[in-house]
A and B are shown apart, each in its own frame.
Chain A
Amino acid sequence: MSIKPQAFSGGFGEPVFESQSMFRLLMDGMARPGTIRTVSSDVGQPEPLGGAAGAIALTLCDHETPVWLSAGLAKSSVGEWIVFHTGAPVTREKAEARFAFVEAGATLASFGLFAAGTQEYPDRSTTLMIEVAALDEGQQLTLTGPGIQDATTTRVRGLPDVFPRLWAENRALFPRGIDVILTAGRTLLCLPRTTKIAVQ
């Protein structure tokens, strides 16, 4: 089996500084759920992975973090790209994955098979990147929880219909649970497991 040339494309031009600024974007986003952040780096990731999702992989993944890919991503050169640039193993077991990437429009059945951590170690859980059509337009969501003063509203287009129900189930597991980052092209929005979502 030959590796497609897209697997070697892109990456951070200045890995030290771009991963730092990308991490700060993620940290600020995670600390202030519902705020939309735009990634400045172009990481040249292969389709159908989005730019923000690609930058997240380059920033956080390495040999210690198995990565799971949804069907659409798994059959593209995304897996090889992540392996080449980060050294992270690609796994087919959701429960092993520290990071999981889902392409736009993929069917979400359940979060149940992803690692939710244990009651003693709730940090040992998957962070799930879900690509949506667009952020800042479409369906209105009202968010409350730590990191949010009173309440905040945001808009997401292309959020799977089952997401609010899956998220409520995830919330009920607290402190266990997965954390989600919604990505749309170069933009992203963080939803740590503490965030409550009300759909308008």
Chain B
Amino acid sequence: MTDLATYNFAYLDEQTKRMIRRAILKAIAIPGYQVPFASREMPMPYGWGTGGVQVTASIIGPEDVLKVIDQGADDTTNAVSIRAFFQKVANVAVTTHTKDATIIQTRHRIPEQKLAEGQILVYQVPIPEPLRFLEPRETETRKMHALEEYGLMHVKLYEDIAHNGRISKTYAYPVKVAGRYVMDPSPTPKFDNPKMHLSEALQLFGAGREKRIYAVPPYTEVVSLDFEDYPFEIQKFEQPCALCGAEGVYLDEVVLDDKGGRMFVCSDTDHCEERREHGHAGAMLAPSKEAAE
């Protein structure tokens, strides 16, 4: 054991945490509004979830149980490294089970299992401004939010219909929060948008490079933008998960060979594993050892 100085609990210094905590409280008080904050350099590059990491670092305590997912999976690089980061700098318990976690940091998915009262979902956000690709100037987008002027977004959705016959946006699908602010739900598939509506969990969003924090309190209306004659629809999958047989969940396509072989499996690995443990089996699940013997 050396006497070398260690990092402060959860890596960030206390003044930074206070600054982020103040931003989080204002974000909760103004649902969907992007609060600017003084994002710090983190020991990982921008684009690796530095916003989500700073939010998690500012809220996490020794009693928390942390789950980190990347596109629904607990075992991909981003999830593994962020989980290891918090084990190292905050010495917190970690889990892959959605129901056991108090804080779930996510990159681009919402777990299939319904979140409960008291859980906190922290999103990693690359581009927090839903209007950014329509209007590059921050001064203008800020004014549009101030005036609740979202006509441009509806024009974009309308042009989608005019060109493609449907709203072609499949991820980062814009939502209106508590009837006021149009918000980017981060690049989650639109499949997950209905889960944000009246969620029992607190949802916090952190964008590190863009230096914004925003939030959706529990039991808050989150409505996906649409038109009366072109209502919002989520993706539907023709077949169930190839491993656990789940229907009505978000599936990833996995290419198996160069002859057109493919399978569709749950993007939420924890959900899929739990179903298989309970005896559910999909068409391509290898027989278990006991069954084979």
Q: Is the CB of B29 within 8 A of A30?
A: yes
Interface string of A40-62 (1 = CB under 8 A from B): 00000000000000000001111
Q: Is the CB of A146 within 8 A of B22?
A: no
Q: How far is the CA of A14 from the CA of B145 in the complex (A)?
A: 41
Q: How far is the CA of A27 from the CA of B26 in the complex (A)?
A: 10
Interface string of B3-24 (1 = CB under 8 A from A): 0000011000011011101111
Q: How far is the CA of A31 from the CA of B202 in the complex (A)?
A: 7
Q: Which of B1-52 contact A (CB under 8 A)?
A: 8-9, 14-15, 17-19, 21-31, 33, 35-36
Of residues A19, A23, A98, A121, which shows the largest number of chain B Cβ atoms within 10 Å of its Cβ? Answer: A23
Given the interface pairs A30-B29, A60-B21, the reply to whether A146 lies near B219 with Cβ below 8 Å is yes
Given the interface pairs A20-B61, A175-B180, A194-B30, the reply to whether A147 lies near B22 with Cβ below 8 Å is no
Tell which of B24, B147, B218 touches A147, judged by Cβ atoms closer than 8 Å.
B218
Interface string of A124-151 (1 = CB under 8 A from B): 0101000000000000000000111100
Q: Is the CB of A24 within 8 A of B30?
A: no
Q: Which residue of B lies closest to A19 (CB)?
A: B14
Interface string of B203-225 (1 = CB under 8 A from A): 00000000000011111110000
Q: Is the CB of A119 within 8 A of B59?
A: no
Interface string of B107-119 (1 = CB under 8 A from A): 0000000000010
Is B242 interfacial (CB 8 A cutoff)? no
**Chain B residues within 8 Å of A11, by CB:** none
Q: Is the CB of A192 within 8 A of B14?
A: no
**Chain A residues within 8 Å of B221, by CB:** 146
**Chain A residues within 8 Å of B217, by CB:** 30-32, 146-147, 192
Given the interface pairs A60-B22, A174-B180, the reply to whether A27 lies near B202 with Cβ below 8 Å is yes
Is A3 interfacial (CB 8 A cutoff)? no
Q: Is the CB of A31 within 8 A of B21?
A: no
**Chain A residues within 8 Å of B33, by CB:** 122-123, 175
**Chain B residues within 8 Å of A20, by CB:** 9, 17, 59-61
Q: Which residue of A lies closest to B23 (CB)?
A: A123
Q: Is the CB of A17 within 8 A of B62?
A: yes
How many chain-B residues does the 8 Å CB contact rule pick out? 44
**Chain A residues within 8 Å of B137, by CB:** none
Taking the closest CB of chain B, its distance from the CB of A9, in whole angstroms, is 21
Is A199 interfacial (CB 8 A cutoff)? no
Q: How far is the CA of A119 from the CA of B180 in the complex (A)?
A: 13
Given the interface pairs A146-B219, A146-B220, A149-B219, the reply to whether A30 lies near B61 with Cβ below 8 Å is no
Is B143 interfacial (CB 8 A cutoff)? yes
**Chain B residues within 8 Å of A21, by CB:** 61
Q: How far is the CA of A146 from the CA of B221 in the complex (A)?
A: 8
**Chain B residues within 8 Å of A127, by CB:** 25
Interface string of A97-127 (1 = CB under 8 A from B): 0100000000000000000001111110101
Is A171 interfacial (CB 8 A cutoff)? no
**Chain A residues within 8 Å of B9, by CB:** 16-17, 20
Q: How far is the CA of A129 from the CA of B19 in the complex (A)?
A: 18
Is B281 interfacial (CB 8 A cutoff)? no
**Chain A residues within 8 Å of B22, by CB:** 60, 65, 98
Q: How far is the CA of A86 from the CA of B28 in the complex (A)?
A: 24
Taking the closest CB of chain A, its distance from the CB of B68, in whole angstroms, is 19
Is B142 interfacial (CB 8 A cutoff)? yes
Q: Is the CB of B25 within 8 A of A119?
A: no
**Chain B residues within 8 Å of A148, by CB:** 219
Contacts A175-B180, A192-B30 aside, 11 further interface pairs with beta carbons under 8 A come to: A17-B9, A17-B61, A20-B59, A61-B18, A119-B146, A121-B36, A123-B27, A149-B219, A175-B181, A179-B26, A194-B178
* B residues neighboring A (CB under 8 Å): 8-9, 14-15, 17-19, 21-31, 33, 35-36, 58-62, 118, 142-143, 145-147, 178, 180-181, 198, 202, 215-221
* A residues neighboring B (CB under 8 Å): 15-17, 19-21, 23-24, 26-28, 30-32, 59-62, 64-65, 98, 118-123, 125, 127, 146-149, 174-175, 179, 192-194
**Which A-B residue pairs are the 9 nearest by beta carbons?**
A192-B29, A147-B217, A119-B146, A123-B26, A146-B220, A149-B219, A146-B217, A20-B61, A31-B217
